[in-house]
Amino acid sequence: MKAFLILEDGTVFTGTSIGSKKDMISEIVFNTSMTGYLEVLTDPSYAGQAVVMTYPLIGNYGITPDMESKKAWPKGYIVRELSRVPSNFRCEGTIQDFLEKQDIPGIAGIDTRALTKILREKGTMNGMITTNENYDLDEILPKLKEYVVGDVVSEVTCDKSYILEGDGPKVALMDFGAKNNIARSLNKRGCEVTIYPAHTSAQEIIDSKPDGIMLSNGPGDPETCVSIIKEVKKLYDSDIPIFAICLGHQLMALANGGKTYKLKYGHRGGNHPVKDLSNNRVYISSQNHGYAVDASTLDSSIATEAFVNVNDGTNEGLSYVGKNIFTVQFHPEACPGPQDSGYLFDRFMDMMKEVQ
């Protein structure tokens, strides 16, 4: 069956329908990872977006037991070629079946390189996937321009708190759309990890007497998380060690007077170089974000820049002055992506031990 991807600038790509046959409107973003498509599909940070995979062949090892959350979150999936006969000893099914079960519409057989060039040159834009061959551009384009991602943090967070048992430090993980490997990375280091819903009050977290607090990744515009930002400021004011990733990094900056802004086309993939300014070492990182912190808007007496993106110079991390708090924009838990920066979890462990 034919499918069409319609961008808000009027560009139309024609391909083949994969997954659900329903119509979909969302923000269109691209990911440059060569592997790890299942982890991408199950990353809650993609809620409200459709993902273009720039690697040309997707699905060759099928669906494996590597989900980063309970379900798939993107509203749509866009690929050049879909492998319909996967081969891997861990394979449990095909992407086609997975997309159908998850009710996610997709399109295959389009020129994803041309699509990515459009998104890089014009910036991230909204789009629609439809199987309706009689689509009306005059009717669709206004709808595309009106679409906003909205409050997706409330959509992706857990319903209630739960615990991963451990005999080490107690860590409170704020779930703004956390990937599973964040909790696993802490748990395998011995931490007892309690995962809390995004709108849990700071006082409840503090009253549980954790040795450390983790602020997770998540989707959407950080500036819309007004009530959460107020609670993050209360966590900052406590003397509990804090490590924050991606959206958590942005929320901590906003809680302390910083500003965030939308990137032209974001950073999404497993090959982004970041420099640690404490030692000038460069690490290859996994990233998935469309917003960044403007480090110049933070008072230097509050926070100093700790990491920068080697490609475009944007902020990739902050160290908070006089506080046991550091935050990063990239994903040290990887999944998918390189594990170069996994040492940051060890840094957090050391920070908690020093305070005890």
Which are the catalytic amino acids? 246, 331, 333
- The verdict on whether residue 162 carries a ligand-binding annotation is no
Strand pairing class (24-31; 2-7): unpaired
CA nearest neighbour of 355 among 209, 192, 188, 256: 209
* Helix, strand or coil, per DSSP, at residue 192: strand
Q: In the 8-state DSSP scheme, what is residue 331?
A: B
Instruction: Give me the residues paired with residue 293 across strands.
Output: 260
- The verdict on whether residue 238 carries a ligand-binding annotation is no
- The verdict on whether residue 261 carries a ligand-binding annotation is no
Instruction: Decide if 115 contacts 265 (C-beta within 8 A).
Output: no
- The verdict on whether residue 247 carries a ligand-binding annotation is yes
Residue-by-residue DSSP string for 117-185: HHHHHH--EEEEEE--TT--HHHHHHHHHH------HHHHS-SS-EEE--SS-EEEEEESS--HHHHHH
| Dihedral (CA of 329, 332, 337, 339) sign | positive
Q: Read off φ and ψ for residue 150, nearest 5 degrees.
A: 80, -165
- The verdict on whether residue 290 carries a ligand-binding annotation is yes
- The verdict on whether residue 250 carries a ligand-binding annotation is yes
For residue 185, CA distances in Å to 17, 34, 226 come to 37, 23, 29
By 3-state DSSP, what share of the chain in percent is helix, strand and coil, each rounded to 5?
25, 35, 40
Report d(CA 100, CA 144) in Å as an integer: 24
| Dihedral (CA of 328, 332, 333, 336) sign | positive
Q: In the 8-state DSSP scheme, what is residue 104?
A: -
- The verdict on whether residue 134 carries a ligand-binding annotation is no
The Cα angle at residue 61 between residues 58 and 65, in degrees rounded to 5:
110
Report d(CA 67, CA 337) in Å as an integer: 14
- The verdict on whether residue 270 carries a ligand-binding annotation is no
* Helix, strand or coil, per DSSP, at residue 61: coil
Q: Which residues are annotated as a binding site?
A: 45, 218, 220, 247, 250, 288, 290-291
Q: Which residues are annotated as a binding site for L-glutamine?
A: 45, 218, 220, 247, 250, 288, 290-291
